[in-house]
Structure 1
Amino acid sequence: MNATILQNWKKNRQLLLLLIPVLLLGGLIFLIQSSYFIPQSDNLTLAISIDFVFTIPIIYFLAIRKTNISNLTAITLMIAGLFLGLYFLPKENQSYLELFKTYFFPIIELGVLSVIIWKVRATIKKYKMLKIDYEENKTEISFDFFTVLKNSCEEALPKFPASLLATEIAVIYYSIISWKSKKINPLKEFTYHITSGTVGLLGALIFIIAVETIAIHLLLAEWNVTIAWILSILSIYTGFQLLAFAKSFSKRPILIENDMLYLCYGIMSETEIELKNIKSIEISEKPLEELIEIEAVESKTKSKLYQKLSPLGNLEGHNIIIRLHEKTTLNGIYGIKKEFKVLAFHVDEKVEFTKQIENLIQSK
């Protein structure tokens, strides 16, 4: 209960901190729209311009710097202040904001880009060091590139843009850079892609995209070369995405470690479940829709807390169903989140996996 109260307090505190710039920006906009604003006053125009792009972001930065809110959100606020100022200030009073946009804004963009590049390089370096330590048995903690990457991006950016950036970098990494196969530890790691047929499905889709891209490009090029190239580039990138998804399956196995069950479906979805939160586990290929209907008849309410680990839905079957005491979160691609209490997924060694989970639960 104390943990729940503390968590709620942290959430409410973050909301209050986010309200500070909203109220300050709202006050500036109200001042501009009121009779107190004198367009002819150059000093007032300068003061308001400084407030939009410097004062309010600095106040916000000082308020959040000791919290887990990314410091780079202050840059986001600065950009928002610039565009709000350009929108609400009369045209003749925008000279200072135009100067900021022309001379300071590119420097800020370059700075943010430099931070992101530095973070990515630091992530790759950290990953290589962890990999060496793990292979030499200096550490018992398992890890993978995508987890390290997400943590690094979240240190530099707010959660949503961090998820977007991490996913895009992961697509490049898994599709182009990472080709060495991962050694599976049979004592705590389980594959899910060998007997599922999903890799074959994605491979077929990549082949279809390759053929269709060439055909459509040649057809559209006769009408509009620019549109033909735009669609071709998008199709090629989609192919790289599918290749990254397929290759990430073998790089990110299901993991049982430190009283936790880490379920992954490549870089497409993942969740962490405490073993003590597992109510039951069974080998079953029964469709989730059927389970939902049975529950609806028994409880007279239809639950929405049934999910599949695979975002492909019914395109991929499952052979394991886990039920939880308390609901938890399934994290999807690009930061999409879903809650669940019942999760269905596929495991290649389903019998061994189920036995190991049951033994660990009984030993608690």
Structure 2
Amino acid sequence: MSIVQNRKLIWFFGLLTLIIGSNFLLYRLEMMQPLPHTIALATLLDFLIIIPLVTYFFFIRKRYSLKYLVLVGFAGYGAALLIIPQGYLGSYSYVRYILLAGEGAFFLLELYIVFKLVTKLPAIFKYYKQKQSDIPAFPHRMEQALTHYLKHNRFIEIVSSEMSMFYYSFFSWRKKQIFHDNVFTFHKKTSAVALNLMLIHALVLESVGLHFFLHNWSPTIAFIALILNGYTVVLFLADIQAIRLVPFIITDQSLYLQVGIMKRLTVPLKEIKSVRYYQGPEKVSKEVSKQVFDAVLSDFVKEKPAIEIEFYSPQEVKKMYGLKQKVLFVHLSPDEPQKFIETLNGKAVL
């Protein structure tokens, strides 16, 4: 699998280099002069059609929404403007307006989805409150509430991720931790919270210095960098709260594993093949890691997982912004590993 992936990357970047490099040299080698003005149209076709098609067949097909082709097209148009000398583009200014029209149509579609979301917010929040006793954590409840009233798609998954992030960052500070026999914390014996606090501290200091440095060069870029850094601070705060407030939960039907704000996995107990103490290497290979849900928190020194869970069939890990991963194993380190194993073995049919 890794070899195939590497070959795909080599082919993709090889074709990309060939297309961009040949067009770049075409306008700059004296031996190719003089060029007809219509050559600019051929370059635009390369960057607006060929490169998006190559990107589609190598990466987007069967994995991501076709709307990403719009972004690739805009990036290609920007690259073409940098490569084609200005004198060649005078006859093709209409291409810009075609792209803007396509982007406008895409924006109107997204605006319509937002409008539908806003109009259904009261019903969504009502459904969310009704489901509080059934589903243990905010992202699970909010995703179910959203998909109950709206068609499930990547945009809804992004909205759910954003709502979860802002909930944990700003509205969860009075919420108390859950304590009962089927709940298992996994952060008390680690320095994960302290690590995130240290990163926030470093990011705030870096943001102040970088903002003043960039402001002398470009106020716009300085403002954008400040917003991105602020967003990252909010993300780290949400991660801290989610780690504290959302433990591993075992119900009569499912095992809920949420690791901060970044990723979560819900597994039916009937899909659990085995639960055992981890006996593998401290660092698994890249090939094996693709099949493993790593539920061990980041720390100053990464520790070996305490427990390994194996499934009968691949299970879907949900990450932020709709990203997904299929896994056959889970590596985790609850604060009470022995009790966790006994409880899970008592509920799962192994």
TM-score, normalization by structure 1: 0.60
Identity of matched residues, %: 25
Question: How much has 1:145 moved relative to structure 2?
Answer: 2.1
Alignment length (residue pairs)? 257
In the alignment, what sits opposite 2:234?
A: 240
Query: In structure 2, what residue type is equivalent to 1:361?
Result: A
What's the RMSD between the two structures over aligned residues? 3.7
Q: Distance in 2 between matches of 1:191 and 1:153?
A: 28
Greater relative CO (CA pairs within 8 A, separation 6+): 2
Secondary structure of the residue aligned to 2:343 is helix
In the alignment, what sits opposite 1:46?
A: none
In the alignment, what sits opposite 1:307?
A: 293
Structure 1 counterpart of 2:255, from 243, 261, 266: 261
Query: In structure 2, what residue type is equivalent to 1:201?
Result: L
In the alignment, what sits opposite 1:127?
A: 128
Are 1:332 and 2:319 counterparts?
yes
Q: 1:189 and 1:234, CA in 2 relative to 1: closer, same or farther beyond 3 A? A: same
Are 1:116 and 2:117 counterparts?
yes
Q: 1:210 and 1:343, CA in 2 relative to 1: closer, same or farther beyond 3 A? A: same
In the alignment, what sits opposite 1:149?
A: 142
Query: In structure 2, what residue type is equivalent to 1:123?
Result: I
Query: In structure 2, what residue type is equivalent to 1:307?
Result: F
In the alignment, what sits opposite 2:348?
A: 361
Question: How much has 1:356 moved relative to structure 2?
Answer: 0.8
Q: Could you give the per-residue CA deviations for residues 83-114 of structure 1, whole angstroms, max 9, x where no partner exists?
A: xxxxxxxx8xx9xxx8xx99x99987654323
Q: 1:112 and 1:280, CA in 2 relative to 1: closer, same or farther beyond 3 A? A: closer
Q: Is the Cα contact below 8 Å between 1:213 and 1:232 reproduced in 2?
A: yes
Q: Is the Cα contact below 8 Å between 1:119 and 1:152 reproduced in 2?
A: no
Are 1:168 and 2:155 counterparts?
no
Q: Distance in 2 between matches of 1:107 and 1:213?
A: 34
Q: Could you give the per-residue CA deviations for residues 197-220 of structure 1, whole angstroms, max 9, x where no partner exists?
A: 211111111111011101111122
Q: 1:210 and 1:251, CA in 2 relative to 1: closer, same or farther beyond 3 A? A: same
Q: Is the Cα contact below 8 Å between 1:196 and 1:346 reproduced in 2?
A: no
Q: 1:197 and 1:314, CA in 2 relative to 1: closer, same or farther beyond 3 A? A: closer
Alignment of 1:1-364 (within 5 A): 111-131=112-132, 134=133, 141-154=134-147, 155-284=149-278, 286-287=280-281, 289=283, 304-309=290-295, 316-317=302-303, 318-361=305-348
Question: How much has 1:259 moved relative to structure 2?
Answer: 2.6
Q: Is the Cα contact below 8 Å between 2:265 and 2:317 reproduced in 1?
A: yes
Q: Distance in 1 between matches of 2:347 and 2:131?
A: 27
Q: Distance in 2 between matches of 1:302 and 1:212?
A: 36
- Unaligned regions of 5+ residues in structure 1, if any? 1-72, 80-90, 135-140, 294-300
Q: Is the Cα contact below 8 Å between 1:270 and 1:331 reproduced in 2?
A: yes
Q: Is the Cα contact below 8 Å between 1:260 and 1:273 reproduced in 2?
A: yes
